[in-house]
Amino acid sequence: MIKIDKNSQPPKHGNVLSLDQLLSKTQGGVFSLVCMAMARSREIHSGSPSLIDCRHLSSDKSTTIALEEIAQGKIGFIDKKKKGRS
């Protein structure tokens, strides 16, 4: 079981992203965020160039880069069902 303490302080290293900050960039919820991060992380891991400056990040892992790209609004979610109706 995972316990989340909303009053805890974030770690002092690097740029820490909040879940609220990330969720504000998605049209859905946590599931949409996870799908976006997973898909973009796979692209980065396969050699796709990063859309952000990664020098300030606490990690060079593809997942960290993908989440930061989402937080900065560099990538977004396209709902294929809604796109086909227009």
pLDDT at 79: 66
Domains of the chain as residue ranges with CATH: 19-85 (3.90.940.10)
pLDDT at 40: 93
What is d(CA 64, CA 54) in angstroms, rounded to the nearest whole number? 10
Which has the closest alpha carbon to 38: 81, 1, 69, 80?
Answer: 69
The conformation of residue 49, written as its DSSP 8-state character, comes to P
pLDDT at 24: 85
Q: Mean pLDDT of successive 10-residue segments in the chain (86 residues)?
A: 48 66 83 91 93 84 90 79 61
